[in-house]
Amino acid sequence: MVSVLYIIVGLAALSLLVLIHEMGHFLLAKAFKMPVDVFCIGYGKPLPFLKFKRKETTYGIGPFPFGGYVKIPGLDPRETAFLDDESKIKDFILQPYYKRALMAAGGPIANILAAVLIFSLVMMLGVIEPTTTIDKVTKDSPASKAGIRSGDTITAIDGKKVDDWQALVLAIRGTKKRAIDLKIKRKSQTLILKTGIATKEGQQYIGIIPKARTVRYNPFSAFYQGMLSAIMTIASLLVSIYLLIVGKLPFRPVSPIGIVQVTSQAARHGLVAFLDFFAFLNIIIGVTNLFPIFPLDGAKIGLWTMERIKGSFFKTRTVVVLQAIGIGLLLVLVLSAVYMDILRPLPDPFR
């Protein structure tokens, strides 16, 4: 029963992820006075008893309550066969380029902004941060041989002050020396201890495990930290994609099944872990949707940009071929991800 509950939470999170994305498109389309036929929560045609119409837009809930969609006539002007009123196509095509591009980017922007807000909420709820106070010293490590003890606080390395764990790690990994001087605060004493440096898997270390503390931020500081977290997550994601392209990271796509699975695992580890991972998912959806591959938003923006540069529309056949290639590639990616997620489920990353 508990597992089913967590799976439901995972499905709800995935649906909210899609809904946030579509809401971004919808709000910018409305702000630019673009025609919007339908805004639906869930998929399928809005149910007759769960819909209403305001001006030209029908709002409703679909029969499949996962995610949602927004129908903007002319968003893809080649799909005229699916449009009831072809005059609406011109209403969209004749919109200034920047409005169409911003509307298409509205979904990814909404996901990234949602990530900032969720990261900010996590900062207010409290995040666990490692400190420069030592919890444990690894047996037979350089630190243990240097006489460093549990409860010691490292305040400086080679005369340079360190205020947090990240600065401490960077100082150790960045040094070219074989030994470093640590300024240690031990109860009422201040000591200078020299420790050697070991290397494992290409990373330098001295063999210490930090004590952690829970830090809660006020709303303004939390928002600032939320923005920093989003920027760092985007940067890490782009670096990972680059390493994947050059073959330095293993290829392991994740399907919606895998996303629900890992989100369910995050929910098992508490609200903070769940929110943190949900923010991370928003970053992934926001960034990857800007890639210039059909049917992603980045491909539409790229197409309109190239049409603007050349001063004319591409031939329908050219666009259809590009769409078919992009959809085919994504379909292969999703199917291979589903196959892997069923046969080799992802381990719980929160343990």
Tokens read off for 344: 């080799």
Tokens read off for 41: 């929560």
Angle, CA of 122, 124 and 125, to the nearest 5°: 65
What is the per-residue DSSP string for 160-206? EE--SHHHHHHHHHH---SEEEEEEEETTEEEEEEEE-EEETTEEE-
**Rounded CA gap, 110 and 120, in Å?**
15
If DSSP codes are grouped into helix, strand and coil, which group holds residue 332?
helix
Max CA distance (Å), the chain: 81
- The answer to whether the CB of 107 falls within 8 A of the CB of 127 is no
Note the pLDDT of residue 286: 95
Note the pLDDT of residue 83: 42
Q: How far is CA 248 from its chain centroid?
A: 21
Separation in Å, CA 167 to CA 14, 17, 18, 105, 214: 36, 34, 37, 36, 18
- Nearest CA to 50 out of 37, 65, 36 is that of 65
Tokens read off for 120: 């900010």
**Rounded CA gap, 163 and 192, in Å?**
17
How close are the terminal C-alpha atoms of the chain, in Å?
21
**Rounded CA gap, 114 and 234, in Å?**
13
In the chain the domains, ranked by start, together with CATH numbers, are: 2-36+72-125+248-343 (no CATH), 127-215 (2.30.42.10)
If DSSP codes are grouped into helix, strand and coil, which group holds residue 215?
strand
Question: What amino acid is encoded at 276 in this protein?
Answer: D
Phi, psi dihedrals of residue 44, rounded to the nearest 5°? 90, 170
* Block mean pLDDT (10 aa), the chain, length 351: 71 88 93 89 84 87 81 66 51 82 95 97 91 92 92 92 89 88 91 90 87 91 95 91 81 76 82 91 94 89 88 79 86 83 71 62
Q: How many CA atoms lie less than 13 Å away from 184 in the CB half-sphere?
A: 19
**Rounded CA gap, 190 and 73, in Å?**
71
Question: What amino acid is encoded at 3 in this protein?
Answer: S
Q: How far is CA 51 from its chain centroid?
A: 32
* C-alpha torsion sign, points 13, 52, 106, 221: negative
**Rounded CA gap, 154 and 331, in Å?**
52
* C-alpha torsion sign, points 64, 65, 66, 71: positive
- Nearest CA to 163 out of 128, 189, 130 is that of 130
Phi, psi dihedrals of residue 82, rounded to the nearest 5°? -95, 0
Burial of residue 50, with CB atoms counted within 10 A of its CB: 0-12 exposed, 13-18 middle, 19 or more buried: middle
Note the pLDDT of residue 88: 59
Note the pLDDT of residue 348: 67
**Rounded CA gap, 135 and 73, in Å?**
60
Q: How many CB atoms lie within 10 A of CB 290?
A: 18
